[in-house]
Amino acid sequence: EAQVTQNPRYLITVTGKKLTVTCSQNMNHEYMSWYRQDPGLGLRQIYYSMNVEVTDKGDVPEGYKVSRKEKRNFPLILESPSPNQTSLYFCASSGAGREPQHFGDGTRLSIL
Amino acid sequence: SQQGEEDPQALSIQEGENATMNCSYKTSINNLQWYRQNSGRGLVHLILIRSNEREKHSGRLRVTLDTSKKSSSLLITASRAADTASYFCATIHPNAGGTSYGKLTFGQGTILTVHP
């Protein structure tokens, strides 16, 4: 089954403790992206990757890192999480940047 | 900053009625996409309209695009209770050099409630 898998689905952690949210897709997609969703603000793009070793900033990249060492994986790294990064995060992939996105089920992060 | 903005923010209708949602954007686009999100779940792609198209249909969905007004509308005809969800438009933008299209901007969404 074609899917985008995010882990963990839920995480409560404390300020400053590094965390990684993994994202994996099994559709051989070149394009992958991370978004955060906050009430009243819709979805905002954090980072995207057009292909392996090619990443670029979205609208809200501050406080986040990403890497794209393999085509199927695109982890989101929070080196020193802060409470303002409490949010619902989505990973998505597509064949190319302009094509429809396939979304994961989301990761709800709470930073205390 | 958010480029796509949906209107209205919330829409409540009865089953069988039509629902129309609008999206406005500010800069040139490659295409515009509409997505649906059930509460707390991932978004599901509904329909894509390219910048050189004016109208597109898919089942009970009809999307229009007016690039001169930088706006799009999504019409759901003969709505059903199962159509209750949030609907988002997303616009695709080129990078600074115009060589790739990776930046997506989503609007804040329209919450549609269809009463049985």
Instruction: Express each pLDDT in B10-41 by its tens digit.
Output: 999 999 999 999 999 988 888 999 999 998 78
Residues of B whose CB is below 8 A from A101: 33, 35, 43, 45, 90, 104
Residues of B whose CB is below 8 A from A102: 45
- Pairwise CB contact (< 8 Å): B101 & A97: yes
Each residue's pLDDT tens digit, A55-108: 999 889 999 999 999 999 999 999 999 999 999 999 999 987 778 999 999 999
- Pairwise CB contact (< 8 Å): B104 & A50: no
The two counts, helices (H) then strands (E), for chain B are: 0, 11
- pLDDT > 90 in chain B, percent: 67
**Which are the contacts of A62, defined by CB distance < 8 A and separation ≥ 6?**
none
pLDDT tier at B1, thresholds 50, 70, 90: very low
B77, exposed or middle or buried, with CB in 10 Å at 0-12, 13-18, 19+?
middle
Q: What is the DSSP string of A12-65?
A: EE-TT--EEEEEEESS--SEEEEEEEETTTEEEEEEEEEETTEEEE-S--TT-E
Q: Identify the residue among B38, B106, B110, B111 best suited for mutation to test binding to A, counting A beta carbons within 10 A and taking the highest.
A: B106
